[in-house]
Amino acid sequence: MPNSNHLTEFTCKYFKNGILLVDGKYIHVKGYKEKIPLIWCMDYYSHDILAHILAPSENYWAYLALFRQLNKCEYPLQVLVCDGHKAIVPALRRVYRNFKIQLCTNHFKEDVRKTLNVRSNDKHKKFMAQLENIFQAKNRKDFQERAIELLKRVAKNEIYQSILSDMDLKYKILTTHYDYKFCPRSTNLIELFNSHLEARVRSTKGFESWESAQLWLNAYVINRRLSKFTDCCKKFKYLNGKCSLYYTAEIDPIDIPLIKEIS
């Protein structure tokens, strides 16, 4: 069984947009009190999982190792779409110089919902609806105009003012997607992969050891990379009938059917 990270390093040469998504999926491994993360990154255009790492926690060193592994395949990073974990950007700066960050707008809005306790308190639902409207803007100018209009409406509410001030501080990384035609504004795609993984590991009730987790997860990632897409729609219809490695790998001298058979 080849290592999926090495498969990327030695065979993947073709990257179209340089739009990357990163996220962590927590799993139970015997010997650890809390679940630990599988951190993986995915090329948006091809949906190919270019690098992954099992780590004790989402920390600077884990992300540094992940991005260093990614850099070995000379990935031309333009935009990283992420949830805003504090360890991501410092680690990324050690490896890449020129890049932009797109903060997942869904994560930002979810943080606001938790702050306002929206799900159990109807008092703030109107404000959340107005905040959602800002993120439906067609461009940066439209985004700013909607935000200013809402700021005027809630001028007497200190909590809402504080939320909008925080949004203003994060304005650039919340609106990066407007500058890149193929850039998403959320991490929904990689979170869909997280849910698929969750469905597979739920029945196992965790792994017996770190080694067994690494072995199984590596096989799972390779299998995903070699499985043909069947249900992609809209702008991703071109993926149907192909596996993600088809778009990123220099096939020769790698025998894809043989690796598929082994996995």
Supply the Cα-derived Rg of the chain in whole angstroms: 20
Per-position b or e across 35-51, b if 16+ CB within 10 A of its CB: ebbbbbbbbbbbbbbbb
State how far the Cα of 79 lies from the Cα of 177, in Å rounded to an integer: 9
Q: How far apart are the C-alpha atoms of 258 and 68, rounded to whole Å?
A: 28
Q: Determine contact, residues 18/79, Cβ cutoff 8 Å.
A: yes
Superfamily of domain covering 4-103+186-262: Ribonuclease H-like superfamily/Ribonuclease H (3.30.420.10)
In this structure, the chain runs to a length of 263
Name the residue ranges covered by the structural domains of the chain.
Answer: 4-103+186-262, 106-171
CA–CA distance, 241 with 232 (Å, rounded to integer)? 10
Walk along the chain (263 residues) and give the pLDDT tens digit of each residue. Answer: 789 999 999 889 889 889 999 999 999 999 999 999 999 999 999 999 999 999 999 999 999 999 999 999 999 999 999 998 999 999 999 999 899 999 999 999 999 999 998 877 788 889 999 999 999 999 999 999 999 999 999 988 999 999 999 999 999 999 999 999 889 999 999 999 999 999 999 877 789 999 999 999 999 999 999 999 998 888 899 999 999 998 998 765 445 544 544 44
> Cα separation of 137 and 141, whole Å?
8
Does this model's pTM top 0.85? My answer is yes
